[in-house]
Structure 1
Amino acid sequence: MEEKIVVILNEMSEYLSIAQMKKLQETMLRVFSEKSAEAKNISNKEYLNMFIAAKTIEGCSMRTIKYYSTTIERLLDSLNMSIRKVTTDDMRNYLTEYQKINNCSKVTVDNVRRNISSFFSWLEEENYILKSPMKRIHKIKTNQQVKDIISDEEIEKLRDKCKCVRDLAMIDLLYSTGIRVGELVNLNIADIDFESRECVVFGKGGKERKVYFDAKAKLHLQEYITNRIDTNEALFVTLDKPFSRLKISGVEIRIRKLGKKANLSKIHPHKFRRTMATRAIDKGMPIEQVQKILGHSQIDTTMQYAMVNQINVKESHRKLMA
């Protein structure tokens, strides 16, 4: 903390008189010492509670909040010291042991690293610690695998296995919009604009955006809504009474069952999102527009979803070498 004070004083020296500099120094020492004294009386658990409160206010989803809480609680349980005394070496050792004990992948460990890094960065920003011990622990390099997408043939197989129009509407909406499963279950009938073939969804952090669906999704959605006998405002509900709004787990289970019936491997809601992104880029949509549709704040995230179709790569290479 003293180092920061010295830096600030040095930068302000050419703008302030000696009397003003002295007053600034006294004020800074008093404020920072008070902050330091307060921090000494705060437990690790209290730091975590304040961090979770901050993330909740920022608009993080309950799923993200739970992940933050679980990850950091696990860290705190392993510590025999105040969080303010943790060093970079302590964190390197923790992550190494975490991977050994849990026998988990590099991707999992990097997710843990990212969550813990957010926690310490917040502590630094709030002046509870001088410097985050995670600053010198960089992203863990992982092998980038080209993940499969759902082919046109597989989509038709899934449609053939649908025994109700609700499932058809659900599959076509996921396939044409690329929305998250959490966004799907939060949709209401009133959110759907059939004339423009679009709907408004609320993504991560409560961000609102428009997504667009195709003619096939429109027809199946209209048929599904017309044949419903309930009064629930939700777009997708259970097939049996009391016709409750579908939950994320309900959609995931249903999609996986349809995939198994069609003898397709690893069919899940998120695969529709990756498929849409890949198809959009493959057909020439600019990556910035794909980013907008998917609701990503960083374009790097969009690039992870959108894997270029290998068949087109092969054809382009043939043309190049011809």
Structure 2
Amino acid sequence: MASNDEVKLAIYLDDLLTNYHIESKDERQYSEDNEDYLLMYMNAIRLENYAATTITNYRYELKRFMNYVEKPMLKVTTADVRQYLAAFSHLKSGTIATKLTIIGAFYAWLVREELILKSPTIKIKQPKVPKRLREGLTIEELELVRESCESLRQRALIEVFYSTACRLSELMAMNISDINWQDMSAVVYGKGSKERKVFFSFKALYHLKRYLKSRKDDCDALFVTTRRPFRRLTNRGIQYQINKIKLSSQVKKPLTPHVMRHTFATLSMDSGIELTDLQHLLGHEDPATTLRYAPVSEERKRQAFKKYHMQ
């Protein structure tokens, strides 16, 4: 026969279980949690001096991933990540690799913050990305591009890109006051806000001065719009001008700010520049990165063999 205490316990448990029900977490709540983690991560990489464009790209990709999986980020599985990447199987492997890198970096941060034990991306291998030969312009093609410029601004853009090997974002942010005219140089801030000095050739300074003298504005930006209100030429505006030059030149190779940077690398290598010097001029931390920008031509290999091979 049950004691009074056992009867009371049975009544208590019966009442507890009768009134107990399981509720799924409100979708809005986990969405807010995801936004909080995303904001924390954006602040973290901002403090690590990630470039503004990189932060924007990371935020866009992670938001897209969150909207796809529709679950708390702390409960995402390897299968979720694979399913997301598979949804973009029609894209190039390089694009999918970038998506995986961004998601992986976010989860690596969650692990470091001890919010999860391990990353759901750790078992996913990066897709094989075919090596692309970055091809710069030849001297003849560069001259065609120069002659195809239709304005002082376009010619100055081409000459400054080629002389300084600036990235698009670096040239866009450059001001007139940044230029040391006597030293023929300027200080720019590259990836991760890293500072480096770039140099102007006599030809670049000549065409840049012509362009600056033609301007009727008081804007300090190195390249500005031609219509009022005068303002700094944006990345897209610069790309638009370079594309106009490309169409006029009828050069078959692609022509972009990055191609001009690569042209600087290949023509400098052909002229005998040391790899270490080129590495610093381009602002690379890893020499292997510089080698990707400056593949050795067959002719240069042949000349090097003749010059250095001992009989």
Q: Quick check: TM above 0.5? A: yes
Alignment of 1:1-322 (within 5 A): 43-99=33-89, 103-265=90-252, 266-313=254-301, 315-316=303-304
User: Is contact 2:190–2:196 with CA below 8 Å preserved after alignment?
Assistant: yes
Structure 1 Cα separation of the partners of residues 117 and 39 of structure 2: 20
- Offset from partner CA, 1:86-127 (integer Å, 9 cap, x none): 33343233322332xxx1010110011111111011111111
User: Is contact 1:278–1:309 with CA below 8 Å preserved after alignment?
Assistant: no
Structure 1 Cα separation of the partners of residues 129 and 233 of structure 2: 35
Structure 2 Cα separation of the partners of residues 239 and 250 of structure 1: 11
Could you say if the C-alpha distance between residues 80 and 255 of structure 1 is closer, same or farther in structure 2, counting changes exceeding 3 Å?
Answer: closer
Structure 2 Cα separation of the partners of residues 304 and 128 of structure 1: 38
Structure 1 residue 189: Cα displacement: 1.0
Match of residue 22 from structure 2: none
Comparing 168-177 with 300-309, greater Cα deviation is found at 300-309
User: Is contact 1:166–1:224 with CA below 8 Å preserved after alignment?
Assistant: yes
Q: TM-score, normalised by structure 2?
A: 0.82
Amino acid at match of 2:286: Q
- Offset from partner CA, 1:6-52 (integer Å, 9 cap, x none): xxxxxxxxxxxxxxxxxxxxxxxxxxxxxxxxxx9972222112111
Could you say if the C-alpha distance between residues 41 and 309 of structure 1 is closer, same or farther in structure 2, counting changes exceeding 3 Å?
Answer: closer
Q: Which structure would you say has the larger RCO, counting Cα contacts within 8 Å and 6 or more residues apart?
A: 2
* Percent of paired sites with the same residue: 35
Structure 1 Cα separation of the partners of residues 75 and 125 of structure 2: 20
Match of 1:118, SS state, is helix
Comparing 183-192 with 288-297, greater Cα deviation is found at 288-297
Structure 1 Cα separation of the partners of residues 306 and 195 of structure 2: 43
Structure 1 Cα separation of the partners of residues 270 and 107 of structure 2: 40
Q: TM-score, normalised by structure 1?
A: 0.79
Structure 2 Cα separation of the partners of residues 149 and 212 of structure 1: 19
Amino acid at match of 1:131: K
Structure 1 residue 315: Cα displacement: 4.9
Amino acid at match of 2:283: G
- Offset from partner CA, 1:199-219 (integer Å, 9 cap, x none): 111112222110112111011
Largest Rg, 1 or 2:
2
- Offset from partner CA, 1:50-99 (integer Å, 9 cap, x none): 11121222222232112111211121122243322333343233322332
Unaligned runs of 5+ in 2: 1-29
Could you say if the C-alpha distance between residues 222 and 80 of structure 1 is closer, same or farther in structure 2, counting changes exceeding 3 Å?
Answer: closer
User: Is contact 2:69–2:84 with CA below 8 Å preserved after alignment?
Assistant: no
Cα-Cα RMSD: 2.3
Runs (4 or more) in structure 1 with deviation over 6 Å come to 317-320
Structure 2 Cα separation of the partners of residues 235 and 316 of structure 1: 40
